Every structure is written in C-alpha cells, then in structure tokens.
Amino acid sequence: MAHAGPQTRHVDLQGRTLLPGFIDAHGHFANALQVVGWANIQRPPAGPVTSIASLQQVLREHVASHPVAKGEWVIAYGYDVDGLSDGRPLDKADLDALFPDNPVMVIHNSNHGAVLNSRALAIAGYDASTPDPTGGVIVRLPGSTEPAGLVMETAFLPLFVHMPQPSEEERLAQFDQAQRLYTSKGITTVQDGATVAGDLGLFQRAAREGRLCIDLVLLPLVLEVPSMLRERFPDFLGKPLEMPQPALDAFGQYRDRLKLQGIKLLLDGSPQGKTAFWGEPLLTPGPNGEANWRGQPVFPPEQLNESVAQLSAQGLQMFAHCNGDAAIAMMIEACRKAGLKPEQDHRTVIIHSQFMAPGQLEQYVELGLHPSFFTVHAFFFGDTHLANLGPERAGRMSPMASAMALGLHCSNHNDFSVTPIEPMRMTETAMTRRTRTGVVLGESERVSAEAALRALTIEAAWQIREEDSKGSLAAGKRADLVILDADPTATAPEQLNAIAVVATLKDGACIYGSLEGAQA
C-alpha cells in the first residue's frame, strides 16, 4: 500500500487468489487462429471421440456447420489412435467414404503428422512408389507399399506448412477469438513456437493494427529462416542461417506487443506417435510394424551441428524440440561442439526434454541448457508411454523435481493444440504425474504446487529474458495478473482443474472477466 496514490484503484478480492499472469512457455498461437475452423476429434475429456464411427460423426457434423465446396480441405485435429475402441487405426478408406471429392487432413495429437484421405495423398504426391523421406514416415497398408493414410514428420510438415490457408483478412478476424482462448485461462504472454514464413507478415500486421491484447512471442522455425531472409533481404548473400544486422536487431524487443525471441530447432518427433528418437528400442513395434524401433532424427547430426554453430555465433537464442533421449544427446553434443557455457547466458531451451537418460540433466548444467517440460503428457499419453517404454523409462518423463534440484530454470507448457490450454491441469500433473488410469509415472519427480506455479510464471519469464518485468508480484513489474476463484496452493491436486479464472489483467487493464466489487 506504500505505492498507492490518489488515482490508485483499490480492489477487494473477496478471498480470491491473485497470481502473476501465466506465460505460455511453448505452444502454437497460429493453431489458435485455425482450430476455430477445424473439427475437434480429441478423446475425452478434451473432445468427444471414442471410436472411428464417432470420429466420422464429428466430421459430418462439422461439415454441416462449416460447409465446404468441392475440392476444399476438411481439417480435424487431435486424432488419438489409443482412444479408439475399434482396435485398429483410422485409414484413408474411412475418410474416402465420407468425402470423396475433398482432401481431408486428420491431424495427429502430436501435431507431427496426419491421416490423409486418397484425395489429400494425391495432392501430396504420395503413392505406392513414394519412398519415405529422410526423417519422415509414410505408413503403409499391411502387406503393401500403398499409403494407408498416416504420414509423420518430414512427410507431413511440408504439406502442413504450405497447405491452402484462409485469406489474411479472415485470419485477422480470428485474433480476438484466438486470444480469448488464452486470456480465459489467465495467460498474458503467448508463444508461437514454430513460426513459418507465411505467418510472420500476418503477425506483424496484426501488431501494427493494434489487434494484440496480450504479448506474442515468435520463434521462427529454422527451416523457414532462409525464406524469411530472402523475402525481406533479397540482396543479402550470407549463409542459409546467417542474418544481416537489421534482422539480428529485430530479436529481443517488443513492437506493439510482438517480439521475435529466438530460433526453433526440430530434432525429432512425437513419443506417442513413435517418431521421437530414443537411445533404446521401444517395447512395441514401430509405425510400420518395425521391430526394435528407436525412431529417428529429423536431420543428421552434421547438419544440426552446423546450425547450432551458426546460430550461437550470432548470439541468437535457440529453442530445440527434443523428446527422446537420443535427440537430447544430439543437441547436447551440438552445443558442446559450439562451445556453449553457462556463463555466456545464452539460455538455450530444450523444449519437452521428455524422456531423458541418466546424466543428461547434469550435462544441461554443464552447458547452460534449460528444459521446458510437458507434464500433461502424464495424463493424456502416460498409459501409451508405459506400453511403449515400460515403467522405468516412462517414469523419467519430464523430470522436473530433479531439474529444479540442480538449479535449472524449468518451465512447463501445454503445446497447444497438442493438449488443451489448461494451466491448472499443468499444475496438477506436475504435482501428481498420474495417467488416465491412475498410474503414477516417476513418483520422485513430483513437485509442490508452489514449484509447479513457478514453472508457469517466473521460470517461463526467465526463459524468454523477461524475468525483470514479468512472472512475479513485485513493485516495478508489469501488471500482468490473473485472479482465480480458489488458491491452487491450498486445493487438492485432483480439484485444481476446476479452479476458474475470475479476471485476467494485462498491463493493469482487465482483458477477461471483471473486477466486480472494486472500490475507488
């Protein structure tokens, strides 16, 4: 109250809980602009699908409410084969029967692949004679080389990045609704964790036009950097990842609530999609029935080493997607070859850091690497991890307690639209690590409510170099705040996701909910 002045507004919280605004440590804001036009085929509790028939029914209802012309794409998100009661995966025939005249893309719950119908496979140019691309998988029909429908990683990414989009005006019109997905959950800083060239201009225009009510942090995808540079600096003749000074100067500073922060590297795929890169084989077959399947890296180590060396030499912060321990080992080795040390304060973030091998956290400390964990995997996909990895390896998932004990700055994320935007479920899973069936994965890695909340606030702020202005309640920091209807540190973990957001404030202005009961 020593800071109160004549114009200070006094608000009686009436027993509610005030926290710093939550920070989206890793997600995909671009997806939020699109999911409003996609069908939600997630399994409960995130969606309604429990079988192929129910998935087909959701698609029928979606097209009835969102009509498409002949030849236009039908898109759904959240496909989870482990949630189907049929005992088999979805394939192209299931989709051809519904939409013979439209390309269909049913996006995998990892966001790293999709089931395509025959029309979409033809557009992609995939047939029985198409080999799997390096770092990618085209799943085949049993006993055949004919594509079954599911494509993953580098077989999927080019199609997804370059597929037809709504017009720029249509996407701009979705900014309010997309941001409300976040503000309704108390999030005041959001991330687009793999920005592509086609979206950069859209985000910059939205910022210029004042359409952002929350801060948006962009991480250009390393694959897209050359395209971005060619478009904006056509006369620059540097190496593929070498940037002219004006491009380097664009990083690290907000302009109209928009900031370029670092470069996103992609080393492997999805653990639940079996495209992560592990040091030891899975206990179950690979995507095409392969025995002793360990997954594979997206790029060879030599290419990664060169990219890390180029980016670090320019002082660019790196955010590396690594799920399996073999992918993590590749990134560790690339950082070691590049000469990275903690005293450089480079703040390289290893996104997911999901299934770590013993000793890798200590190597993070040695090199100055820090993890952004994904603890909601325990709930949504934990039983799948148990089947694929067994209890000991599955228990290593998101080792938050061990990482914090070593002094690492650990954030936590939901990777929207892979899982729903639910900070309280993120808190719960960091505390309990329970699967859908109630199995605890790695009991020793449970953390307290206070530690779980730090991963959503001050530690997430540190990872994007904003700990001096965000992430805690302190004089001089920005008034990015969330008011909850209950105290998460005094609530049973299984009740946390029922806590509601009363109001979200950005720079002191209420952007969601209301401050009823306020007194001047």
Residue 178: predicted pLDDT: 95
Other CB atoms within 10 Å distance of the CB of residue 474: 11
Query: Are 118 and 211 within one domain?
Result: no
Mean pLDDT (whole number) for 417-432 = 97
Calculate mean pLDDT across residues 310-322. Answer: 97
Same domain, residue pair 437 and 409: yes
Task: Give the percent of the chain with pLDDT over 90.
Answer: 90
Any domain includes 68: yes
Banded pLDDT at 163 (limits 50, 70, 90)? confident
| Residue type for position 401 | A
Return all residues near 190 (Cβ < 8 A) that are at least 6 apart: 24, 27, 29, 179, 182, 214, 215, 216, 217
Check pLDDT > 70 for residue 447: yes
Q: Do 458 and 313 belong together in one domain?
A: yes
Nearest-angstrom CA–CA distance, 130 and 271: 25
Q: Is residue 427 part of a domain?
A: yes
Looking at the fold, whether 335 and 425 belong to one and the same domain comes out as: yes
Task: Tell which of 136, 162, 188 closes a domain.
Answer: 162
Tokens for 437, please give them: 């069936």
The predicted structure's pLDDT at residue 517: 45
Provide the angle, in degrees to the nearest 10, between the axes of the packed helices 197-208 and 225-232: 60
Percent of the chain with pLDDT over 70: 99
Whether 448 is in a domain gets the answer: yes
CA atoms within 13 A on the CB side of 305: 10
- Tokens encoding 235: 């006369």
Q: Are 197 and 334 within one domain?
A: yes
Q: What is the pLDDT of residue 425?
A: 98
Instruction: Report the amino acid identity of residue 467.
Output: E
Cα-to-chain-centroid distance, residue 103: 26
Quote the domain boundaries for residue 129: 37-162
Q: Say whether both 218 and 113 belong to one domain.
A: no
Q: What is the pLDDT of residue 519?
A: 39
| CATH classification of the domain holding 74 | 3.10.310.70
- 261/216 Cα distance (integer angstroms): 10
Q: Please tell me the predicted confidence (pLDDT) of residue 8.
A: 86
Q: 237 phi and psi, to 5 degrees? A: -115, 30
Residue 494 lies in a domain: no
DSSP secondary structure code for residue 187 in this structure:
E
As to burial, measured by CB atoms within 10 angstroms (0-12 exposed, 13-18 middle, 19+ buried), residue 172 is middle
Residue 423 scores a pLDDT above 80: yes
Over residues 175-202, mean pLDDT: 96
Q: Is residue 169 part of a domain?
A: no
For 333, the token pair is: 């080795």
Please say if the pLDDT value at position 441 is more than 60: yes
| Mean pLDDT for all residues in the chain | 95
| All residues at 6 or more sequence positions from 511 whose CB lies less than 8 Å from its CB, including other chains | 183, 213, 214, 504, 505
Residues 235 and 269 in one domain: yes
Same domain, 348 and 459: yes
Name the pTM for this structure. Answer: 0.93
Place 518 in a pLDDT band, splitting at 50, 70 and 90: very low
pLDDT at 24: 98
- Nearest Cα to 233, choosing from 222, 221, 245? 245
Mean pLDDT, residues 309-324 taken together: 98
The CATH number assigned to the domain holding 294 equals: 3.20.20.140
- Give the bridge partners for 40, in sequence order: 77
The pLDDT-based confidence of 283 (bands split at 50, 70, 90) is very high
> What is the model's pLDDT at position 378?
97
**Is residue 481 situated within a structural domain?**
no
Same domain for 384 and 260: yes
Q: Any idea what DSSP says for residue 21?
A: P
pLDDT tens digit sequence for 228-260: 999 999 888 788 899 999 999 999 999 999 999
User: CA-CA distance, 283 to 421, in Å (whole number)?
Assistant: 31
Shared domain for 198 and 113, answered yes or no, is no
pLDDT tens per residue, range 42-71:
999 999 999 999 999 999 999 999 999 999
Domain-embedded: residue 395:
yes
| Residue 515 falls inside a structural domain | no
Number of domains in the chain: 2
Q: Are residues 78 and 208 in the same domain?
A: no
- Domain end position, chosen among 413, 429, 463: 463
Q: First CA to last CA across the chain, in angstroms? A: 14
- Domain ends where: 463, 478, 510? 463
In whole angstroms, what is the distance from residue 455 CA to residue 471 CA? 10
158 and 216: one domain? Answer: no
Nearest CA-CA partner of 172 in 219, 211, 135:
211
DSSP state at residue 255:
B
